[in-house]
C-alpha cells in the first residue's frame, strides 16, 4: 500500500520530485567525483614518484663541480642512501624549433635542458609510465611542450645554434616527477647519449642536479641543512620531494577542492529544499493527517508514508549520482592521467567515492527524520477543525496600503509579502546567496589569476620586461655588459637589477638554515606588502610570509645572517607573498655576497611608445643566453595550466549555479502558487489580471534575488577572499586580494541571474491560468 501511495504522490508532483531528485543527484555526483579526483591525484602522484624513483633532495648547481668529492661526502653521510649527479645542457629557447615552424621558442619562460636518461633513480617516464629509452636521432619532449605546441609522436624538434643544427624525431613525451607542472620553470628533454655528446661539444651551458635519496625521507630538512652548511656545490636553488608533490598537485588539487566545496553547497541547498517541500506538503495534507490520526493510525505509520517518498528519492538520487560520477570522472581526471598516469585502483579508491555518495543519502535521511518530527505536534482535533497549520496574522502596520504611494501597487504587494512571510522566503534567499557565491568566487579567482598584478603573489613587482641571467662562468661579465647597455638605452624608462644569493641564517633555537635573498632596490617596482614596507637600508630585510611563519618572525624582529663567518643582524621591515621557489624567499638592499650569487635579474619599464614584444626580441638576441620575457607572458606561461583548469571549473560552477537558481525558483514558485491558490483566486475575482499577479511574484523573487546577490557579493569579497587566501597560504600567498572585473561581476552575472529567474518565474506563473477563478474560489 505504501508503494501505491508513493507512486501516486511522485507522479502527482512531478516538478517537485524532479527538482529534489536533481539536487540530491548532483550533490552525490559531485561529492563522489571530488573524492575520486582527490584520491586519484594522491595515488597517481605517489605512483609516479614511486615508478620514477624520485629523489628526496635536489641541489641545482651551475659551474664546475667535483663529483668524486660529492661521492666522498655522500658516503660519509649517514642519511644518504643513493647519490647521482645529473648533467643538463641548457638550451636557450631561441635555439629550439618545434615541428615545421620557422619560429623558435623565444618567448618561453621555461629553462630548457637536454639530458640523458638517469641510471640510478629519478627516471624520466613516458606516457605509459615506462622508463624512457630513446634511440639516436630521437627525443622525448616534456608534456608541457606537448600541450603548448600541440606536438605528436613523430614530429620534429630542431636545435639550431651557430655550432650545431640537429634534427630529432619525437619518440615519447616526458613525465618528469620534478619538473612536470608549468609552475616549475625547468623542463628536461631526453636524448640518446650519442646525440647528447654531439650537443655537448656545441653547447657549453651546463647545469647540474646533485640528487640524493635518503635512508629516512622524513629527515630531509636535517639533510638539507647539512648539505648547505657543507662545501658541496650549491650555486642554485635546492628542492625536496615534498615541494615537488605540492607543485605537481596544485592545479588538480584546486579543482578537486572546488568540486567538493560545490557538492557541499548543493547538499545544503538540497536539505533546505527538502525541508521546505516537506513542510509545504504537511500544510497541504494537514487535514488528511488529522483524519488519519483521528481514526487511530499511529504517528509512526503516518510518518513512514511520508518518509518512504524522500528515502526513495534520496536512495535513487545517491545511487544514480554515484554512477554518473563514474562518467564525469573521465573528464576531471584527464589532466591527472596526462601528467601523472593512472595508478592501480585500490579498494579504497573504489569504496570512498561510494561512501561519499552514501553519506549524501544519510544526510537526506536524517534531515527528513528531523523535519518529520512535526507530526508529533499535529493534533487531530485542531487539524479537523482548522484544516490548516495556520500562519500567524503578521499584520505590519508600517506596510499598510496607504503607505504605498509612489510604488507600483503590485510591486508593493510583492515586497509586503516578502516581509510578512520572511520565514518562508529566507530559504529562497539562502539558495540565491549560495548560487551567487559559487558563481562569483571562481570568477573573481580566475580574473585574479589572469591579471598582470598576479605577479605580486610571485614576489615580483610589475614591470614591462624581466631579464633573467642564468648562472655561468661569465655571468658577472654578461651582467655588467647588460647594465652598461641599459643605462644608455633611450627606450628604457627605468630599470633596476636584482641579485639572488644564498645565505646562512641563525634561527631562534641557535640552529642554522639557509635562505635565498634577492638584493636590489625594491622601490622602483614595489610589491604589495602584507605587513610593513620594503627594505631601504643595508641592515633591513623583508621576508616572504612562509619564511616568516617558519622562522617565527614578525615585522620589527631581527634575523641573524652569517656572512663570511661573521654574524650580521638585519631588521625585518615587511612580509610579502611569494608562490615561487616554494614560497621561501627574502629581499634586502645590502650588497650581495659575491661568493654565493645564484643569479641576476633585471626588471625594466620601457618608454610609453616603445612596443614591448619587439624589445623583448631585441634583448633576447642581444643578451643571449639570458631569458627575456614580458611579465604578462611570464604569468600566463607559469600559471597557464592552472588558469585553464580554473576556467573549466568556473564554467562548471557558473552553469551549475545558474541551473540551481532556475530549478529552485521553479520549485519554490510551483509550491507557492499551489499554497496561495485561494488568495490568487480572490485577487483574480477582484479584477487582478494575470499580469498583475505575475508582477507581484516577480517583484518578490527579484527582491529576494537582489538581496542574495548583494549579500553573496559582500561575502565573496570578504569571507570568500579569505577562504581562497587560506587555500593559497599553503603555497605562500595568504592574502589574496581579488582582482575584480566589475563589468562581469557586477553587471553581466547579476543580469544573467535576474534574466534566468525572471524567465523561470514567468513560465511557472503560467500555471495560474490553468484553473478558472470559480474553481479556485470554491476549492
Partner 1 sequence: MSILLESKQLSKTFTLGKQNEHHVLKEVNLTIAQGDYVAVMGASGSGKSTLLYNMSGMDRLTSGSVTFRGQELSHMHDQALSTLRLTGMGFVFQHIHLLKNLSIFDNILLPGYLARKEERHKIDQRARELMEHVGVAQLADHDITQASGGQLQRVGICRALINEPDILFGDEPTGALNSTAADEIMALFASINAAGTTIMLVTHDVKVAAQTERILFMLDGQIVSEKCLGKPSRTGADRKTREEQLSNWLFKMGF
Where does this chain bind partner 1 (CB under 8 A)?
391, 393-395, 397, 400-402, 404-405, 409, 416-417, 420-421, 678-679, 681-692, 769, 772-775, 777-778
Report in angstroms how near the CB of residue 679 gets to partner 1 at its nearest. Answer: 6
Query: What is the rounded distance in angstroms from the CA atom of residue 512 to the CA atom of residue 505?
Result: 6
Q: How far is the CB of 401 from partner 1 (least distance, A)?
A: 4
From the CB of 689, what's the least distance to partner 1, in Å? 4
| Between 410 and 760, CB nearer to partner 1 | 410
Q: Give min distance, CB of 424 to partner 1, in A.
A: 12
The grid coordinates listed for 422 are 520572511
Nearer Cβ to partner 1, position 4 or 397?
397
3-state secondary structure of 470: coil
Q: Please identify, using beta-carbon distances, which residue of 561 and 699 lies nearer to partner 1.
A: 699
Q: Which is nearer to partner 1, 135 or 774 (CB)?
A: 774
As a residue count, the chain comes to 779
Whole-angstrom Cα distance, residue 240 to residue 177? 11
Distance CA 761, CA 774 (A): 24
In terms of DSSP H, where are the helices of 333-408? 334-340, 347-371, 380-386
Nearer of residues 397 and 487 to partner 1, judged by Cβ? 397
CB atoms within 10 A of CB 72: 11
CB 492 within 8 A of CB 604: yes
Q: Which of 685/718 has CB closer to partner 1?
A: 685
CB of 768 to partner 1, least distance (A): 10
Comparing CA positions, the residue from 497, 437, 429, 439 lying closest to residue 466 is 497
Taking the C-alpha atoms of residue 428 and residue 434, their distance in angstroms, rounded to an integer, is 10
Q: Is 291 exposed, middle or buried (0-12, 13-18, 19+ CB in 10 A)?
A: middle
3 state DSSP class of 118: coil
Grid coordinates representing 759 are: 524567465
Q: Alpha-carbon distance 725 to 384, whole Å?
A: 57
Residue nearer to partner 1 on the CB measure, 388 or 511: 388
Residue environment code for 179-218, b if the CB has 16+ CB neighbours within 10 A, otherwise e: bbbbbbbbbbbbbbeebbebbeeebebbbbbbbbbbeeee
Using N-to-C axis directions, what is the helix angle for 422-450 and 409-420, rounded to 10°?
100
Q: Which residues pair with 60 in a beta bridge?
A: 209
The minimum distance between CB 678 and partner 1, in angstroms, equals 8
Q: What is the CA radius of gyration of the chain?
A: 33
* Minimum distance from residue 439 beta carbon to partner 1 (Å): 33
- Closest to partner 1 by CB, 413 vs 729, is 413
Of 519, 719, 503, 495, whose CA–CA distance to 623 is shortest? 495
Q: Are strands 238-240 and 57-62 parallel, antiparallel or unpaired?
A: antiparallel
CB 667 within 8 A of CB 19: yes
- Least distance to partner 1 from the beta carbon of 680, Å? 10
Residue with cell 527524520: 369
**What is the H or E stretch that residue 586 is in?**
strand 586-588
Report the nearest approach of partner 1 to the CB of residue 381 (Å).
19
Q: Which is nearer to partner 1, 404 or 758 (CB)?
A: 404
Closer by beta carbon to partner 1, 607 or else 689? 689
Tell me whether residue 376 or residue 392 sits nearer to partner 1 (CB atom): 392
- Closest CB to partner 1 among 219 and 692? 692
Cβ atoms of residues 81 and 213 within 8 Å: yes
C-beta separation of 151 from 131 below 8 A: no
What's the closest the beta carbon of residue 437 comes to partner 1, in angstroms?
A: 32
Enter the DSSP assignment of 474: T
Supply the minimum distance, in Å, between the C-beta of residue 701 and partner 1.
Answer: 17
Our CB check for partner 1 shows the closer of 289 and 695 to be 695
Residue whose CB is less far from partner 1, 740 or 768: 768
Which residues are within 8 A (CB) of 396 and not within 5 positions of it... i.e. 6 or more apart? 416, 419, 420
Q: For the stretch 25-61, what's the b/e string if a residue is b when 16 or more beta carbons lie within 10 angstroms of its beta carbon?
A: bbbbbbbbbbbbbbbbbbbbbebbbebbebbbbbbbb
Amino acid at each position: 500500500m505504501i508503494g501505491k501511495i508513493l507512486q501516486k504522490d511522485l507522479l502527482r508532483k512531478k516538478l517537485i520530485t524532479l527538482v529534489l531528485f536533481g539536487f540530491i543527484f548532483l550533490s552525490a555526483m559531485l561529492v563522489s567525483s571530488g573524492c575520486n579526483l582527490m584520491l586519484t591525484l594522491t595515488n597517481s602522484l605517489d605512483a609516479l614518484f614511486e615508478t620514477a624513483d624520485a629523489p628526496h633532495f635536489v641541489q641545482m648547481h651551475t659551474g664546475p663541480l667535483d663529483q668524486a668529492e660529492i661521492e666522498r661526502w655522500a658516503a660519509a653521510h649517514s642519511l644518504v642512501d643513493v647519490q647521482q649527479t645529473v648533467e643538463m645542457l641548457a638550451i636557450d629557447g631561441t635555439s629550439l624549433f618545434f615541428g615545421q615552424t620557422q619560429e623558435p621558442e623565444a618567448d618561453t619562460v621555461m629553462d630548457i635542458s637536454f639530458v640523458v636518461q638517469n641510471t640510478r633513480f629519478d627516471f624520466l617516464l613516458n606516457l605509459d609510465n615506462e622508463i624512457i629509452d630513446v634511440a639516436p636521432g630521437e627525443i622525448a619532449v616534456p608534456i608541457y611542450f606537448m600541450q603548448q605546441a600541440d606536438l605528436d609522436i613523430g614530429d620534429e624538434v630542431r636545435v639550431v645554434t651557430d655550432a650545431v643544427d640537429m634534427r630529432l624525431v619525437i619518440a615519447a613525451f616526458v613525465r618528469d616527477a620534478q619538473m612536470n607542472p608549468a609552475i616549475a620553470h625547468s623542463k628536461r628533454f631526453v636524448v640518446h647519449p650519442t646525440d647528447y655528446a654531439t650537443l655537448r661539444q656545441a653547447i657549453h651551458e651546463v647545469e647540474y642536479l646533485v640528487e640524493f635519496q635518503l635512508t629516512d625521507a622524513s629527515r630531509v630538512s636535517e639533510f638539507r641543512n647539512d648539505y648547505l652548511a657543507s662545501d658541496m656545490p650549491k650555486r642554485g636553488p635546492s628542492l625536496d620531494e615534498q615541494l615537488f608533490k605540492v607543485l605537481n598537485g596544485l592545479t588538480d588539487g584546486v579543482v578537486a577542492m572546488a568540486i567538493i566545496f560545490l557538492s557541499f553547497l548543493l547538499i545544503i541547498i538540497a536539505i533546505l529544499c527538502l525541508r521546505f517541500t516537506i513542510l509545504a506538503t504537511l500544510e497541504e495534507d494537514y487535514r488528511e493527517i488529522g483524519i488519519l490520526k483521528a481514526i487511530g493510525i499511529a504517528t509512526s505509520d503516518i510518518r513512514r508514508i511520508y518518509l518512504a517518498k524522500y528515502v526513495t528519492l534520496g536512495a535513487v538520487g545517491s545511487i544514480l549520482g554515484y554512477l554518473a560520477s563514474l562518467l564525469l570522472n573521465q573528464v576531471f581526471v584527464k589532466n591527472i592521467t596526462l601528467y601523472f598516469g593512472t595508478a592501480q585502483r585500490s579498494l579504497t579508491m573504489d569504496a570512498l567515492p561510494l561512501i561519499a555518495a552514501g553519506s549524501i543519502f544519510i544526510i537526506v535521511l536524517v534531515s527528513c527524520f528531523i523535519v518529520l518530527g512535526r507530526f508529533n505536534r499535529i493534533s487531530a482535533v485542531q487539524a479537523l477543525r482548522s484544516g490548516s497549520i495556520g500562519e500567524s496574522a503578521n499584520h505590519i502596520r508600517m506596510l499598510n496600503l496607504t503607505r504605498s504611494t509612489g510604488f507600483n501597487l503590485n510591486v508593493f504587494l510583492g515586497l509586503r509579502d516578502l516581509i510578512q512571510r520572511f520565514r518562508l522566503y529566507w530559504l529562497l534567499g539562502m539558495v540565491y546567496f549560495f548560487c551567487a557565491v559559487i558563481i562569483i568566487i571562481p570568477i573573481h579567482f580566475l580574473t585574479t589569476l589572469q591579471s598582470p598584478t598576479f605577479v605580486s603573489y610571485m614576489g615580483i613587482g610589475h614591470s614591462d620586461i624581466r631579464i633573467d641571467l642564468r648562472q655561468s662562468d661569465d655571468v658577472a661579465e654578461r651582467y655588467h655588459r647588460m647594465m652598461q647597455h641599459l643605462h644608455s638605452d633611450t627606450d628604457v624608462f627605468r630599470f633596476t637589477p636584482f641579485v639572488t644569493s644564498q645565505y646562512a641564517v641563525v634561527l631562534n633555537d641557535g640552529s642554522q638554515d639557509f635562505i635565498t635573498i634577492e638584493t636590489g632596490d625594491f622601490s622602483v617596482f614595489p610589491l604589495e606588502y602584507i605587513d610593513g614596507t620594503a627594505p631601504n637600508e643595508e641592515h633591513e630585510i623583508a621576508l616572504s610570509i612562509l619564511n616568516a611563519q617558519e622562522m617565527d618572525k614578525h615585522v620589527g624582529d631581527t634575523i641573524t645572517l652569517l656572512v663570511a663567518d661573521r654574524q650580521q643582524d638585519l631588521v625585518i621591515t615587511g612580509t610579502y607573498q611569494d608562490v615561487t621557489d616554494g614560497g621561501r624567499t627574502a629581499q634586502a638592499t645590502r650588497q650581495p655576497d659575491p661568493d654565493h650569487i645564484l643569479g641576476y635579474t633585471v626588471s625594466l619599464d620601457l618608454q610609453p611608445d616603445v612596443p614591448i614584444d619587439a624589445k623583448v626580441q631585441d634583448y633576447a638576441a642581444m643578451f643571449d643566453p639570458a631569458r627575456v620575457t614580458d611579465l604578462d607572458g611570464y604569468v600566463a606561461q607559469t600559471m597557464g595550466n592552472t588558469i585553464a583548469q580554473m576556467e573549466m571549473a568556473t564554467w562548471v560552477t557558473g552553469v551549475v549555479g545558474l541551473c540551481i537558481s532556475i530549478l529552485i525558483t521553479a520549485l519554490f514558485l510551483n509550491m507557492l502558487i499551489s499554497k496561495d491558490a485561494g488568495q490568487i483566486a480572490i485577487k483574480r475575482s477582484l479584477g487582478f489580471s494575470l499580469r498583475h499577479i505575475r508582477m507581484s511574484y516577480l517583484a518578490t523573487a527579484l527582491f529576494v534575488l537582489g538581496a542574495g546577490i548583494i549579500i553573496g557579493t559582500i561575502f565573496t569579497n570578504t569571507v570568500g577572499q579569505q577562504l581562497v587566501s587560506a587555500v593559497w597560504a599553503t603555497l605562500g600567498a595568504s592574502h589574496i586580494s581579488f582582482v575584480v572585473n566589475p563589468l562581469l561581476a557586477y553587471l553581466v552575472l547579476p543580469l544573467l541571474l535576474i534574466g534566468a529567474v525572471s524567465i523561470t518565474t514567468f513560465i511557472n506563473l503560467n500555471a495560474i491560468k490553468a484553473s478558472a477563478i470559480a474553481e479556485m474560489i470554491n476549492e
